[in-house]
Amino acid sequence: DGGITQSPKYLFRKEGQNVTLSCEQNLNHDAMYWYRQDPGQGLRLIYYSQIVNDFQKGDIAEGYSVSREKKESFPLTVTSAQKNPTAFYLCASSIEGTGSYEQYFGPGTRLTVT
Amino acid sequence: GNSVTQMEGPVTLSEEAFLTINCTYTATGYPSLFWYVQYPGEGLQLLLKATKADDKGSNKGFEATYRKETTSFHLEKGSVQVSDSAVYFCALKDGTSYGKLTFGQGTILTVHP
């Protein structure tokens, strides 16, 4: 079955450590996205990628970094510069970013930093 | 910039009750509109969408009509079930910003037997 996988489901880190969240898709989609979800708020876009080796900042990119070396993979690194990293992180993909194509979401990773 | 406003929640209903979740938006041009659903501990799933004015999206008994004159996309279902308990997000995508979905804050729905 095609879909998006994110791992791990739960992640715990100490303050000051960088941490990388995995996102893999086998849908052959060109576009991939990272969103952050906080309680009582909608999703906010961190980074997106239209194609391999290209990515763009979203609304809240500070303290995060990404790479897109393969079409299937779009890992997100939460750096120690991110002031409030504890959140639920969702990865998504779509056929492409233009038009009204549906975005498919992964199951999410809940990151807790103490 | 773009924005989406959803009705305040949470919403609590009895099974078989009628559901309305209000959604209004502000956007440039002619955005596409979406309703996503999130079950506990999971990612989002597309529930329905509409891409132009007066379009009606429908799925699993839910429906929403794209009303440009009132900039609204209210979600309705005639008879809710316990299994509909989830968080519902209204979202828009305009034609100028690549791929970006703008989300409302989400509405928690709880349906009791």
Q: What is the pLDDT of residue B97?
A: 64
Q: What digits encode the pLDDT tens for the residues A72-81?
A: 999 999 999 8
Contact B98 A58 (CB under 8 A): no
Contact A105 B43 (CB under 8 A): yes
pLDDT of B41 reads 83
Q: Name the residue among B51, B101, B106 with its Cβ closest to that of A103.
A: B101
Contact B105 A97 (CB under 8 A): no
Write the pLDDT tens digit of every residue in A24-69: 999 999 999 999 999 877 899 999 999 999 999 999 999 999 999 9
Q: What is the pLDDT of residue B30?
A: 84
Whole-number pLDDT of residue B1: 83
The strand ranges marked E within A14-114 are 19-25, 31-37, 43-51, 54-57, 64-66, 76-78, 87-94, 104-105, 109-113
CA distance A97 to chain B (A): 4
Tell me the percentage of chain A whose pLDDT exceeds 90. 81
User: Looking at the partner chain, which of B36, B43, B102 has a beta carbon nearest the beta carbon of A106?
Assistant: B43
| pLDDT for the residue A9 | 92
More confident residue, B1 or A112: A112
In DSSP terms, A6 is beta-bridged to A23
Average pLDDT value over all residues in chain A: 92
Amino acid at A89: Y
Instruction: State the pLDDT at residue A1.
Output: 65
Are the Cβ atoms of B106 and A102 closer than 8 angstroms? no
- pLDDT at residue A29 in the model: 93
C-alpha–C-alpha distance, residues A64 and B58, integer Å: 37
Cis before A85? omega within 30: no
Alpha-carbon gap: A78 to the closest alpha carbon of chain B (Å): 19
**What does pLDDT average to in each consecutive run of 10 residues of chain B (113 residues)?**
88 97 92 93 92 95 96 97 96 78 93 96
Dihedral (Cα; A18, A19, A25, A28), 10-degree rounding: 10
